[in-house]
Chains A and B, each alone.
Chain A
């Protein structure tokens, strides 16, 4: 069985400050892990993907995530938030099918 928990339903940061979106996963097998972003009234866009290669994964728009097996975590970070980063972010664990976290809404204040 596999599952994913996003630890914060809402994160608010100021523009130019770091972003941290937290994700813990549970899986009986070595999973693939993803972060997707969803802007209002849009589909999901892939930010980055981990598939057992490098533990630090770089994605689009300056985002990156680190896979920590000992902590079963896959937190998403960005050094400096931009107004356009405001959106819903989903952490996903996948073995046979994709299991989505509940999502974290990121608000960026000017």
Chain B
């Protein structure tokens, strides 16, 4: 089985722009979660989607949003980019919803640099 894929792998944007990141989960997995990883804050949970519905959300401003499609693929969007949004964005998929009940499998991440 193919693993979790994320596109693009690297992105450079300028302040004020918006960006969309894509994640394709492992085939058959219905839950997709997004995380932000920075040297200062470590790994932080952004949100989880299951069956096209956001089920859980971390403590991030409304500039961060996401969605999930009927084929379980997910996108996250960051509007009005700030320098502090520079990070590695990781996507993880699991079979069913709820991180507690199921193992999450991570993609390689998208490295976003905001100039």
Partners in one complex: yes
Residues of A within 8 A of B (CB): 31-32, 34, 36, 41-46, 49, 90, 94-103
Binding site for A on B (CB under 8 A): 4, 33, 35, 42-45, 48, 56, 58, 90, 92, 98-101, 103-109
Chain B nearest CB, measured from A53 CB (Å): 13
Q: Is the CB of A97 within 8 A of B106?
A: no
- Nearest Cβ in chain A — how far from B27, in angstroms? 17
Q: Is the CB of A98 within 8 A of B33?
A: yes
- 7 new A-B pairs (CB below 8 Å) besides A96-B56, A98-B45? A36-B106, A43-B90, A46-B104, A96-B100, A97-B58, A98-B33, A98-B104
Known A-B contacts A42-B108, A43-B109; A100 and B43 likewise in contact (beta carbons under 8 Å): yes
Task: Classify the secondary structure of A's interface with B.
Answer: strand
Collect the chain B residues with CB atoms within 8 Å of residue A98's CB: 33, 35, 45, 99, 104
Give complex CA distance A84, B107 in Å: 20
Interchain CB contact under 8 A, A99 and B45: yes
Known: A90-B43, A99-B45. A46 touches B108 (CB 8 A): no
* Pairwise interchain contact B98-A46, C-beta atoms closer than 8 A: no
Q: How far is the CA of A95 from the CA of B48 in the complex (A)?
A: 14
User: A68 CA to B67 CA in the complex, in Å?
Assistant: 38
Q: Specify which of B42, B48, B101, B105 is in contact with A102 (CB 8 Å cutoff).
A: B42
Task: Given A90-B43, A96-B56, decide whether A46 and B103 contact each other with a Cβ distance below 8 A.
Answer: yes
Query: How many whole Å from A62's CB to the nearest CB in chain B?
Result: 19
Q: Which chain A residues border B109 with CB–CB below 8 Å? A: 43
Are B99 and A97 in contact, CB atoms less than 8 angstroms apart? yes
Q: Which of B4, B42, B104 makes the CB contact (< 8 A) with A103?
A: B42
What's the Cα separation between A22 and B75 when bound, in Å?
35
Instruction: Please determine whether B42 and A97 come into contact, CB atoms closer than 8 angstroms.
Output: no
